[in-house]
Amino acid sequence: MANDNKLQNIIGHCKEYGFVFQSSEIYDGLSAVYDYGQLGVELKRNIRDYWWRSMTQMHDNIVGIDAAIFMHPTVWKASGHVDNFSDPMIDNKDSQKRYRVDHLIEGFAETLDKEKGDAMLQQMDQLLAANDFAGIKQLIEDNKISCAISGTCNWTDVRQFNLMFSTEIGSVAEEANVIYLRPETAQGIFVNFLNVQKTGRMKIPFGIAQTGKAFRNEIVARGFIFRMREFEQMEMQFFIKPGTQKEWYEYWKETRMKWHLSLGIGADKYRFHDHVKLAHYADAACDIEYDFPMGFKEVEGIHSRTDFDLKQHQQYSGKKLTYFDTDINQHYVPYVIETSIGLDRTVMMLLSEAYKEEDLSTADKQDNRVVLSFPPMLAPVKLAVLPLTKKDGLPEIARELIDQCKPYFKCFYEEKDSIGKRYRRQDAIGTPFCVTIDHQTKEDQTVTIRYRDSMTQERIALADVKALVMDKIKMF
């Protein structure tokens, strides 16, 4: 399956089975905004839970918070977002279409052979690192990179555009104040650093984790739920003693990569990408990239943020944000290592990894299936219980099994259509286990359990089903 097709097929599959819908579809949609359907929301929630528990339950020095989306407008002045959170853009004068220059150049580089493409991207990284916008424009013109709509190379100069959405707070227009929809969840953690440290009696090193919505007015939003205007982040700020940032940066790189591998995705599908052009707050930064159908792209960022954020908030709020370290009898502003992963991007990564079109044809029969082979712990539905017929007491046994299991994990009941068709529908939504209740069940209290990935079946005791599924969906 060509990768372009794969992405289109995943998008179609997500819509057909209730994972992801275009926002406001009946009004022709809203660009780069998506809604999660009945299965997508379960998948997303399971990923969020796994991340949350990996951070706050498996580390006794990490706690969570849930800060508001609206924050005092000065937060964004202090954080640098008002002045620096912008991307260099270029407009095509004929189509009026605006592009982020890095996306425009990356798209073109992908059409070249690998060596030429890599050289071009290296040149782009250097020019961006030097803020050399004239040089970037020259690179675009020299390579005759054209607009996909007009087909021309009639470009404006490269300019910066801020990505924050603003709105107004206050009931009467005169009192209204401009506030921003947060472009990252991290600042909610920084401004609560002392609240948490003091009330939780936290000792450095410690972390604060948060998941929640973030908003960015992405100019070029493409790639399905890869780049959205409203999305969800899962971020953790780890507060450390100044001078220890290098070792903690390495620790979190390694720890986060282990988490990614624990999703059952092979090491060959991931790579680190070190940043050449560092964000205004960082002294080291890298991305964990996954090999999406459209190539290796960022899923998570790991940033050594120094004491930039806390110092800025100290300065702008006039409040001290220092920590007293009893080990060395000193006050200091802690340094921070941040891990920041996009939840929607992780959903897309898991969909890309799980989606398979399998040809099961034999000499005398054409057959195929689409299967989503999610890790069982993340699958939206864990167990489907299927009575062979609608009568003879089989549905009752099936319902009893579901009643026994549903307090522990999500189950699904279905009695319509042939067993084969029902299995295929469960494969298509990624249910790892199907149990069939048949007439033999009434005689010897056994059932057939069918495994999604291997499609093998075995006979087990009805009484063992719950324990078997519980064991396979364990997170830790």
Q: Which run of H or E residues covers position 73?
A: helix 73-78
- Angle among Cα 290, 294, 299 to the nearest 5 degrees reads 30
Nearest CA-CA partner of 431 in 447, 407, 457, 453:
453
State the chain's maximal CA–CA distance in angstroms: 80
The DSSP-derived string for 412-439 is EE--SS-HHHHHHHHHHHT--EEEEE-H
Q: Which residues contact 198 (CB under 8 A, 6 or more apart)?
A: none
Considering the complex, what minimum distance in angstroms separates the CB of residue 32 from ligand GAP?
8
Nearest residue to the partner ligand GAP, using Cβ: 342
For residue 67, give Cα distances in angstroms to 5, 81, 202, 209, 340: 40, 18, 18, 10, 16
DSSP 329: T
Closest to 54 measured CA to CA, from 256, 274, 351: 256
Packing angle, helices 40-52 and 343-354, rounded to 10: 110
- Give the up-direction half-sphere exposure of residue 409: CA atoms within 13 A in the CB hemisphere: 27
C-alpha 376/C-alpha 355 separation (Å) is 14
Q: Tell me if the bond preceding 432 is cis, omega within 30° of 0.
A: no
Q: How far from chain centre, in Å, is Cα 257?
A: 14
Q: Where are the beta strands (DSSP E) in 51-202?
A: 62-64, 86-91, 98-100, 159-162, 166-169, 177-180
- Which one, 82 or 402, has the nearer CB to ligand GAP? 82
Q: Select 128 or 381, whichever has its Cβ closest to ligand GAP.
A: 128
- Locate 86 and state its tokens: 């912008």
Instruction: Name residue 220's amino acid.
Output: V
CB of 297 to ligand GAP, least distance (A): 9
**Residues near ligand GAP (CB under 6 A):** 184, 186, 216, 218, 227-228, 231, 233, 235, 298-301, 338, 340-342, 344-345
* Rounded Cα–Cα distance for residues 346 and 54 (Å): 15
Residue among 304 and 373 whose Cβ is closer to ligand GAP: 304
State which residue, 263 or 383, has the beta carbon closest to ligand GAP.
263
What is the dihedral angle through the alpha carbons of 417, 420, 423, 424, rounded to the nearest 10 degrees?
Answer: -100
Residue nearer to ligand GAP on the CB measure, 298 or 392? 298
Cβ 233 vs Cβ 341: under 8 Å: yes
CA 88 to chain centre: 24
Q: Compute the least distance from the CB of residue 205 to ligand GAP, in Å.
A: 19
For residue 185, the minimal CB distance to ligand GAP (Å) is 7
Chain centroid to CA 61: 24
* Smallest separation, CB 86 to ligand GAP (Å): 12
Euclidean distance between CA atoms 173 and 183, whole angstroms: 25
